[in-house]
C-alpha cells in the first residue's frame, strides 16, 4: 500500500501583503488548480504569528512530485498567489506519512 505524501513549505508574506487578499488568492488557486491534480487530498494553511506554512497532502509521493514538476510553469492563479509571498523566505520539504492516529 502506498503511503500518503505531504509537501510542507513555510514562508513569510511580503511586508505590505493583505492577509485577507492572500487567503482569497490561496482559495482561488486551490479551487482552480491544486485540487484538480492527480492524487490531491487536502491543503492546509498554518500560521504561527510570523511564518505561514502550507501542508499539501497527496495520495503518493509520485503524485506529489508530478504536482511539483507541473508547478514549475505557474498559471495566473499561481502567479497571483506567489505575488504575496517573500520567495526568499520559502523552505520546503517532502514527507511520507508513516503513521496516523
- Full DSSP string of 30-96: HHHTGGGSTTEEEEEEEE-SS-EEEEEEESSHHHHHHHHHHTTS--HHHHHHHTTEEEEEEEEEEEE
Q: Is residue 52 part of a domain?
A: yes
Q: Is residue 101 part of a domain?
A: no
* Residues facing residue 57 across a β-bridge: 6, 42
pLDDT at 43: 98
pLDDT at 87: 96
CATH code of the domain containing 62: 3.30.70.100
Q: Is residue 33 part of a domain?
A: yes
Q: Is residue 12 part of a domain?
A: yes
Domain tally, the chain: 1
Q: Is residue 51 part of a domain?
A: yes
- The range of the structural domain enclosing residue 22 comes to 5-96
pLDDT at 2: 81
Q: Is residue 92 part of a domain?
A: yes
> What is the residue-level pLDDT of the chain in tens, covering all 101 positions?
789 999 999 999 999 999 999 999 999 999 999 999 999 999 999 999 999 999 999 999 999 999 999 888 999 999 999 999 999 999 999 999 999 89
Q: Is residue 39 part of a domain?
A: yes
Amino acid at each position: 500500500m502506498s503511503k500518503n505524501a505531504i509537501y510542507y513549505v513555510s514562508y513569510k508574506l511580503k511586508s505590505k501583503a493583505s492577509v485577507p487578499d492572500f487567503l482569497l488568492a490561496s482559495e482561488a488557486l486551490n479551487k482552480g488548480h491544486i485540487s484538480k491534480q492527480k492524487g490531491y487530498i487536502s491543503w492546509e494553511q498554518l500560521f504561527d504569528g510570523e511564518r505561514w506554512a502550507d501542508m499539501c497532502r497527496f495520495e503518493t509521493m509520485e503524485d506529489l512530485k508530478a504536482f511539483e514538476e507541473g508547478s514549475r510553469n505557474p498559471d495566473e492563479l499561481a502567479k497571483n498567489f506567489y505575488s504575496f509571498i517573500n520567495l526568499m523566505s520559502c523552505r520546503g520539504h517532502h514527507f511520507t506519512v508513516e503513521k496516523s492516529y
